[in-house]
Chains A and B, each alone.
Chain A
Amino acid sequence: MTLNAELSHRLYKDMWRIRLFEEEAIRQTGLGAVKGTLHTYCGEEAVAVAVCAHLRDDDYVLGTHRSHGHCLAKGAPMDRMMAELFGRATGSCRAKGGSMHIADFSRNILGANGIVAGGIGPGTGTALASKIRKSDQVSVVFFGDGAAARGPFHEGLLFGSLWKLPVVYVCENNGYQQWVPRSNVAVVDSVADMAASYAMPGVSVDGQDLEAVHDAAGEAVVRARTGGGPTLIEARTYRFYGHSLGDIEEYRSREEVDEWRETRDPITLFSAWMKERQWLGEDEDEAIRTQVKAEVAQAVAFAEASPRPEPEDAMTDVLDTAWRVSA
């Protein structure tokens, strides 16, 4: 899929949708409307939108605890996501999942995941299903650099490569596993280098550069869809906010964060990239933000107007109780 003016507009807008959705969610947490914690994706938006640009509705996406961006980029309705954060019965998961478990199966978004590396095995399993059914669906699993330490990462990549499954592993290396710099806990700098152990292509890209991610993801998705097996993409990126809300961020300097925000913001960079090509005028830029602000406001209004769950809802959806076996 060529990164033309039309697609660029959509992806640019999607980055804003993620950014403003999350900043509103942070604000609503301050107001007490959103409870629990949030792991925000701000700063990493180019990765989700550039990867998901290559996906069809029936392709699978599995995420992390930091998955608002993956869900929005794959097409999850923003109003139901906001309602989920508000703990409302109309939420994506009917108020049973919250931020860390948002899923929208109608768009094959099989869920954010509160367990680090938790989506890698299941994501590889969706690809196995596609192989067995001989469909040409592709699965994309997003995970962080911290996940590359866990067994399920290694086991998942082994299976993916062993059976040449149609899966793309996308590591969002934001430099910190929660509060610890990757350099303190990793023995290889680039997660992409770990692909060699599993005999699959590994590529490291600048995750702030939408075009670079888009190119790498495009190649990987085509490889997966045409029987060439998995690819491990490392997108070097940065989160603008703390690990989760309330993070006092003693492990990194204010200067470091400011520098990324000022010089490496994927939205600013892509806006400039589009403007260089005469693909985005100042008023279009302004109009996009206005549209997204309206969408976010509408999502908040939807959430506010939605009913809270009933206490008895806590008891349902454990098992499919309507099911009866038949011979």
Chain B
Amino acid sequence: MRTIALRDALREALHEEMARDDSVFVIGEDVIAHGGPYTVTRGIADNWPDRIFETPIAEAGIVGLGVGAALAGMRPVIEIMYVDFITCAMDEVVNQAAKMRYMTGGQASVPLVIRLPCGPARLVAAQHSQIMESWFMHVPGLQVVAPSTPYDAKGLMKTAIRSPDPVAFFEYKALYVSEGAVPEEDYVIPFGKADTKREGEDATVVAIGGMVPRALEAGVALEDEGYDIEVVDPRTLAPLDMETICQSVRRTGRAVVCEMDSSFAGAGAEIAAALAEQCFHDLRAPVLRVGSPHVPMPFAEELVAATVPDAGAICAAVRKVMA
């Protein structure tokens, strides 16, 4: 199977869905020029000039228009340049997109995808590096997707575009250039299906988005110490596949939950709490979380390294649950 980068997998998904369904369109800042800062929307303007809209810098307007177009039966795919900027449109996400089906007693459908490039990549500090998955997980009516591989990114993006409900699609900027095998033929990945990225017997490492490669790196490093870890990637955080995660933890008896975002009230806290509720008697050690401390993203390299967890932090947590 051919190997492509994650951003190319996303671009393929967009092109294929645009070709498949006339109601799909793209809207966002700079999405025509360069195909956006990450080139994900490149080429769409050449093929479908009437279905891509380059906007003023007006996130509330962009998402608001997306909600309305979706209500009218279109399938907008919005690019928000940095997830940090979605805070400028939280009313549109939370009060409009997410609640519309419920408030109208099921009359409304909001098939809206909001692409949210996130996480540290270059040194762009606190307002261009957040992740924020748990903000969206906490809102009923939203689906939250965080792929870690090109294969998952493409399959989940196609599902997101076909979904009748709004999707917050987290794209870890640091993973855009990471490569992986992606089939040429059409495929989709259902939401709510975790994927075991590495099988192991001794401890379960649940890793979200950008932490998946770090967990796999930790898996290799820990082999030398005699620990065989399993790495489970939830792929979607809402819906969350606790069944697969619990099955793994019941077998290994140990769990480390890893996220790149602040672990305080984060996505990992939900997973850890659910493990405590559902797997308490199978656990041989407390569930540990690995994540950033509760500080904004700093600027200097040393400071970033001091906050964002790496494979070493995962190894340390695994040693602790194995002790």
Genuine A/B complex: yes
Let me know if B141 and A319 touch, CB within 8 A: yes
Let me know if B56 and A121 touch, CB within 8 A: no
CB neighbours (8 Å) of A111 from chain B are 100, 103-104, 108
Let me know if A319 and B165 touch, CB within 8 A: yes
Given the contacts A317-B101, A319-B101, A115 and B96 also touching, CB distance less than 8 Å: yes
Let me know if B60 and A151 touch, CB within 8 A: yes
Let me know if A105 and B107 touch, CB within 8 A: yes
Partner of B64, one of A101, A124, A163: A124
Count of residues in B whose CB is under 8 Å from the partner chain: 51
How long is the Cα–Cα vector from A97 to B191 in the complex, in angstroms? 28
Q: Which of A93-127 contact B (CB under 8 A)?
A: 93-97, 101, 103-105, 110-111, 113-115, 118, 120-127
Residue-by-residue, is B10-42 near A (CB-CB < 8 Å gives 1, otherwise 0)?
Answer: 000000000000000100000000000000000
For residue A304, CB closer than 8 A to chain B, the reply is no
Partner of B101, one of A114, A115, A130, A320: A320
Let me know if B91 and A152 touch, CB within 8 A: yes
Q: Which of B250-307 contact A (CB under 8 A)?
A: none
CB neighbours (8 Å) of B51 from chain A are 132
For residue B95, CB closer than 8 A to chain A, the reply is yes
For residue A63, CB closer than 8 A to chain B, the reply is no
How long is the Cα–Cα vector from A316 to B68 in the complex, in angstroms? 22
For residue A159, CB closer than 8 A to chain B, the reply is yes
Let me know if B95 and A114 touch, CB within 8 A: yes
For residue A318, CB closer than 8 A to chain B, the reply is yes
Partner of B55, one of A103, A152, A156, A159: A159
Given the contacts A118-B96, A125-B64, A94 and B140 also touching, CB distance less than 8 Å: no
Let me know if B105 and A317 touch, CB within 8 A: yes
For residue A325, CB closer than 8 A to chain B, the reply is yes
For residue A60, CB closer than 8 A to chain B, the reply is yes
For residue A284, CB closer than 8 A to chain B, the reply is no
CB neighbours (8 Å) of A168 from chain B are none
Report the nearest B residue to A124, measured CB to CB: B65
| B79 nearest CB across to chain A (Å) | 16
Let me know if B103 and A93 touch, CB within 8 A: yes
| A182 nearest CB across to chain B (Å) | 22
| A64 nearest CB across to chain B (Å) | 13
Q: Which of B146-154, B156-164, B172-180, B203-211 makes up part of the contact surface? A: B156-164
Q: Which of A284-327 contact B (CB under 8 A)?
A: 316-320, 323-327
Q: A interface vs B, CB < 8 Å?
A: 60, 62, 91-97, 101, 103-105, 110-111, 113-115, 118, 120-130, 132-133, 139, 151-152, 155-156, 158-159, 162-163, 316-320, 323-327
Q: B interface vs A, CB < 8 Å?
A: 25, 50-51, 53, 55-56, 58, 60-61, 63-74, 76, 91-92, 95-96, 100-109, 140-141, 143, 158-159, 162-165, 186-191
